[in-house]
């Protein structure tokens, strides 16, 4: 068995913490885990493509996912979901997009407008089995006081829909270890996500 998750977003959004969270949950279940965080210069407001791969040690060895081979792409930022199509293909990949645009400063400097969500999904569709869009960061802000909780909500959502083959309890335990300071709110955010996912919103 082999499962390939890609997280993508902007430096400072908590992408790396989410990677650690999911990787820990996979480890709790006894999977062999690999992955990589592509940061450095990009940490400062740039794109951070991040990978988590788990399954049997025989099948998983490269730290990065092969082109067109992600099972699940979790995009914390809509524009970055489009650029993540490099790792996606129609027969295999499900996209879950956080509808929380972080407009790059270059939109103003180069005078390029930020696309609407329907234009974004139109660009992604040829690469996606399914596309789900949620307002997770807005919810995080509204319910828990910060957009950062949107990350745990998203993890809950993908688990609730059944897109991430990991047990809820493993994820809860991983959240407790990974975010000890804001544990209570993060667990609540995860539960909220689970519920939203289970309600199965219509995929776009």
Partner 1 sequence: MDVLEEPGKKVVLLGNEAIVRGALEAGVGFVAAYPGTPSSEVPMTFARIAKKVGLYFEYSSNEKVAFEAATGAAWSGVRAMTSQKHFGLNVAADSIPPVAYTGVRAGFVVMVADDPSGWSSAQSEQDTRYYVRMFKMPMLEPSNPQECLDYTKLAFDISEEFEIPVFLRTTTKISHSIGTVKLGKMKKPKIRGRFRKDPDKYYTLKPHLQVLHDRLNKKLKQIEEKYGLELNKVFAGEGKTGIITSGVSFEYAKEALLELGLNPPIAKINLTHPISKGFVSDFIKDKEAVFVLEELEPILENFVKQIAKEANPNLVIHGKDLLPRYGEYNLETVIPAFEKIFGKKLGINFDDHKKKVDSASKGLTPRKPVLCPGCPHRSTFYAVKKVFGDETIYAGDIGCYILGIFEPFNMQDFVISMGAGAGVSHGISLVSDQDVVAFVGDSTFFHAGMPPLLNYKYNDAGKNPLVVVLDNAITAMTGHQPHPGSGFTGMGEKVEPVKIEDVVKALGAEVRVSSAFSQKQLNTALQELKNLKGPKVLVSRGECRLLTRRQFRAKGRTLPLYEIDQEKCTRCGICANDLACPAIVKSTVEPGGEPVYSINPDICLGCAVCMQICPEGAIHIVKREGK
φ/ψ of 60, rounded to 5, equals -110, 115
Our finding on whether 1 is near partner 1 (CB under 8 A) is: no
| Contact window for partner 1 (CB under 8 A) among 26-34, 151-159, 160-168, 188-196 | 26-34
- Contact, 160 vs 197, CB < 8 A? yes
Q: Is 56 helix (H, G, I), strand (E, B) or coil?
A: coil
Around Cβ 102, how many Cβ atoms within 10 Å? Answer: 18
* H/E segment holding residue 94: strand 94-98
Residues within window 172-191 making contact with partner 1, judged by CB under 8 A: none
Rounded Cα–Cα distance for residues 126 and 90 (Å): 6
Q: Would you give the binding string for partner 1 spanning residues 72-101, x where CB under 8 A is met?
A: -------xx-xx-xx--x------------
Q: Which is nearer to partner 1, 10 or 196 (CB)?
A: 10
Closest CA to 150 of 43, 13, 32: 13
Angle at 93 between CA 16 and CA 132, to 5 degrees: 75
| Contact window for partner 1 (CB under 8 A) among 9-17, 155-163, 165-173, 193-201 | 9-17
Closest CA to 10 of 138, 96, 105: 105
Our finding on whether 40 is near partner 1 (CB under 8 A) is: yes
Q: Would you give the binding string for partner 1 spanning residues 47-66, x where CB under 8 A is met?
A: x----x----xxxxxxxx-x
Our finding on whether 203 is near partner 1 (CB under 8 A) is: no
Residues that bind partner 1 (CB under 8 A): 10-12, 19-20, 23-24, 26-27, 31-47, 52, 57-64, 66-68, 79-80, 82-83, 85-86, 89, 103-110, 112-115, 123-124, 126-127, 141, 145-147
């Amino acid at each position: 068995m082999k499962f390939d998750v890609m997280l993508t977003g902007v430096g400072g959004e908590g992408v790396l913490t989410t990677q650690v969270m999911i990787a820990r949950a996979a480890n709790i279940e006894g999977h062999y885990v690999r992955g990589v965080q592509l940061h450095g210069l990009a940490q400062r407001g740039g794109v951070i493509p991040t990978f988590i791969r788990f399954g049997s040690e025989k099948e998983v060895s490269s730290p990065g996912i092969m082109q067109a081979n992600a099972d699940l792409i979790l995009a914390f930022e809509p524009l970055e979901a489009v650029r993540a199509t490099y790792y996606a293909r129609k027969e295999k990949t499900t996209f879950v997009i956080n509808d929380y645009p972080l407009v790059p400063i270059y939109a103003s400097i180069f005078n390029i407008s930020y696309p609407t969500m329907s234009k974004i999904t139109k660009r992604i569709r040829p690469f996606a089995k399914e596309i789900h869009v949620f307002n997770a960061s807005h919810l995080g802000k509204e319910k828990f006081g910060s957009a950062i909780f949107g990350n745990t909500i998203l993890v809950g959502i993908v688990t609730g829909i059944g897109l991430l083959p990991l047990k809820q309890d493993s994820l809860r335990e991983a959240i407790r270890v990974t975010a000890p300071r804001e544990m209570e709110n993060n667990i609540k955010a995860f539960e909220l996500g689970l519920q939203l996912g289970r309600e199965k919103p219509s995929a776009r």
